[in-house]
Amino acid sequence: MSGVLSVSQAEAVDSAAEQARYRLTTLICWSVCAALAAADAWAGRQYTDPDGISYLDMSDALLKHNWHLLINPHWSPLYPFLIGVATWFARPLGYWEFPLVHAANFVIFLGALASFEFLMRQAILVLSGGSGHKRASSMGSLPAWRWQLLGYSLFAWSTFVLISGLRRVNPDLCVATFVYLDAGLLLRLRMDAGRSRTCLLLGLTLGFGYLAKAILFPMAFVFMTVAILAIGEWRKAAVPLLLTILVFSSIATPMVILVSQMAGRPSFSESGPLNFAWLANGGDALPFSTFRSSPDLKHPMNLLNKSPDVLGFNGRTASTYSPWFDPQYWNAGTKASFSAERQTRAIGRNLTAFIAGFYMAPMWALIAGGVALFFMSRGEPNRFQQLASSWPLLIPGIAGLTLYTLVLVLPRYIAPFLVLVLLGFFPYIFFGYSARRAKPVAIVTSVLAISIFVFSAMFVVLHLTEPIPILRGPGGVFYRAADSLNKDGVLPGQSVGLIGSGWDAMIWARLARVRIVAQMPLEETRGFWQASDPQVQTEVYDAFARAGAKAVVTAQTPPSTGFTDWQKLGDTPYYVHFLAPPHI
């Protein structure tokens, strides 16, 4: 990325006036982003998704002094460890657990913000000729603070639109933090800045990045390859890279060994193989599409009752909802075979999601503006050669996008990698213009940056003014259901059965501190509610009782005839049937 700005611009960056503008822009961008993050955390303070329940169950390792909870072949340990530290200090009860986790998300967000600032500083140093490859020409360019404004607008968009801000209880902000740190360190290597120390830090960030999410294990080798290229000479790269490998291996190897032992084969994570089998391979997925036992499954669920089916699933680890806390265990034996046709369909589906999503609007606006500016500068030499020098950001960014395109593209997955690609492309579109054209380019850049900020803020404001229906009212419906369940006699630590879907049920069960140990799948519920023979009810209730359930809960409204022993949980849509007299 070196050699983009003129000598005069490089000198301007070092001037006191430019530094003052840079600091002011940093303060404004940080203040705006922090305010949006705080508002978003508040708007979703009682929200989580099913993934978050698994991470919360893992975070109990600190409170229960059971470190084995943090080792899971499907879920990565760093994020639950961080929220476990927060809950260990605060010891929240009931209503306050989710707000505390979102407060922890805010702290993690500040870490992501700091890591992005580190990346921006390194990028601006390279752009200003900090690597020693200054470009001697009379061409004018944008001041650093405008480039900084554009960069932070991309950060806001990726955080509040693609990652969905701080509302979700998942490690995506942690992933972004490490991706930005890794990319910034690559740029430092490009500038020959403290090579040994930089490689040491790169090993640390790659290792802890893998503990944040499994995708960063294969990406670590991409970053290390780029590090070799950034250093440039094999002899100079050998010792620093060996240091990176040793530090990364010392952090990653224990986790790889433990995951491999649980999976029964060499593995750094079972998340990728499972998602490939579910999505690219088209196989049945528990608990996504079916609960019916496949002859290939090594650990089929216990069929407690037939027609309607009731399945028990006491897993190898106590958790709120075992099928999703330990999907690798329940899906063990699922076969993933490669099919060119299915893989092509998966790639097409993922590319469609990537291109057509509303959340991608700012990217397409940037590209449109960039193309227009590109043709405005047709007379500028070596534009494509300058673009090619962005490889320290483009290679890992494109590699991350490619890995997800093969299996599953979700906005929050691709967010940090997309930012790297855009940061790699746009300096060579928005910079390097003659003095005559610099002013209109600067205006276009500022307008685009501010527009992206407004687009991102719109999502946060929408969350504040139109909260998710389940969060309306005091504490949200999940908390009210959990509170009513505890008050009606199902105590924390006890087990319950479930009729219907387990996705929402995970949330109220976590808040009530109860375990779901048996379930009637959604496709079986009609046969239960419409059964005219009372013996059907008796057999179903006996099946739940054999699994250890003290009560059965459903989000479906029981028929008025034959189900009078079901009672509503407060003012929620949930109903409960007690299998034994409740403890009140």
pLDDT at residue 1 tops 50? no
Q: What is the pLDDT of residue 72?
A: 94
Q: What is the pLDDT of residue 139?
A: 35
DSSP 402-471: HHHHHH---HHHHHHHHHHHHHHHTHHHHS---HHHHHHHHHHHHHHHHHHHHHHHHHHHHHHHS--GGG
Q: What percentage of the chain carries pLDDT values higher than 70?
A: 83
554-575 pLDDT, tens digit each: 999 999 888 888 999 998 999 9
Q: What is the pLDDT of residue 575?
A: 96
272-281 pLDDT, tens digit each: 888 888 776 6
Q: With CA atoms as reference, report the closest residue to 540 among 291, 310, 302.
A: 310
Q: Which pLDDT band holds residue 291 (cuts at 50, 70, 90)?
A: low
Q: Which pLDDT band holds residue 4 (cuts at 50, 70, 90)?
A: very low
What average pLDDT is seen over the chain?
84
Average pLDDT on 59-73 reads 89
Contact between residue 430 and residue 134 where contact means Cβ atoms under 8 Å apart: no
212-243 pLDDT, tens digit each: 999 999 999 999 999 998 887 777 778 889 99
17-37 pLDDT, tens digit each: 677 888 888 999 999 999 999
Contact between residue 142 and residue 441 where contact means Cβ atoms under 8 Å apart: yes
Is residue 304 within a helix (H) or strand (E), and if so which, with residue range? strand 302-305
Higher pLDDT, 358 or 480: 480
**Alpha-carbon Rg of the chain, whole angstroms?**
27
Whole-angstrom distance, CA of residue 577 vs CA of residue 566: 5
Q: What is the pLDDT of residue 338?
A: 74
Q: What is the pLDDT of residue 216?
A: 97
pLDDT at residue 140 tops 90? no
Backbone angles phi, psi at 187, to 5 degrees: -70, -35
Contact between residue 268 and residue 210 where contact means Cβ atoms under 8 Å apart: yes
Highest mean pLDDT (candidates 139-153, 313-327, 331-345, 377-391): 313-327
Q: What is the pLDDT of residue 95?
A: 79
Residue 148, token pair as written in the block: 């900084």
pLDDT at residue 71 tops 90? yes
Counted residue by residue, the chain has a size of 584
Q: What is the pLDDT of residue 83?
A: 96
Whole-angstrom distance, CA of residue 582 vs CA of residue 584: 6
Q: What is the dihedral of CA 162, 168, 169, 173, to 10 degrees?
A: 30
72 burial level (CB within 10 Å; 0-12, 13-18, 19+): buried
Q: What is the pLDDT of residue 253?
A: 97
Whole-angstrom distance, CA of residue 7 vs CA of residue 140: 9
> Which of 183-197, 363-377, 407-421 shows the lowest per-residue confidence on average (mean pLDDT)?
363-377
Residue 532, token pair as written in the block: 């005219």
pLDDT at residue 474 tops 50? no
Average pLDDT on 64-77 reads 91
91-101 pLDDT, tens digit each: 887 778 999 99
Q: What is the pLDDT of residue 93?
A: 79
Q: Which pLDDT band holds residue 383 (cuts at 50, 70, 90)?
A: low
Between the alpha carbon of residue 469 and those of residues 35, 40, 464, 472, 473, the distances in Å are 24, 16, 12, 5, 9
Highest mean pLDDT (candidates 113-122, 160-169, 365-374): 113-122
Average pLDDT on 175-203 reads 91
446-465 pLDDT, tens digit each: 888 888 898 889 888 887 77
Highest mean pLDDT (candidates 66-75, 197-206, 389-398): 197-206
Q: Which pLDDT band holds residue 351 (cuts at 50, 70, 90)?
A: confident
Whole-angstrom distance, CA of residue 505 vs CA of residue 515: 10
Q: What is the pLDDT of residue 262?
A: 92
Model pTM above 0.85: yes
DSSP state of 293: P
Contact between residue 370 and residue 423 where contact means Cβ atoms under 8 Å apart: no
Contact between residue 293 and residue 303 where contact means Cβ atoms under 8 Å apart: yes
Q: With CA atoms as reference, report the closest residue to 211 among 250, 183, 245, 180.
A: 250
pLDDT at residue 341 tops 70? yes
* H-only helix segments in 128-233: 144-157, 172-190, 195-212, 216-231
Q: Is the peptide bond before 295 cis (omega within 30 degrees of 0)?
A: no
Backbone angles phi, psi at 305, to 5 degrees: -155, 145
> Which of 239-243, 420-424, 439-443, 536-540 shows the lowest per-residue confidence on average (mean pLDDT)?
439-443
Higher pLDDT, 144 or 573: 573
Whole-angstrom distance, CA of residue 54 vs CA of residue 72: 10
Residue 553: strand, helix, or coil: strand
Q: Where do we find the tokens 């199902």?
A: 490
| End-to-end Cα spacing for the chain | 68
**Which string of b and e fits 169-189 if b means at least 16 CB within 10 Å?**
bbbbbbbbbbbbbbbbbbbbb
Residue 334: strand, helix, or coil: coil
pLDDT at residue 73 tops 60? yes
DSSP 531-543: ---HHHHHHHHHH
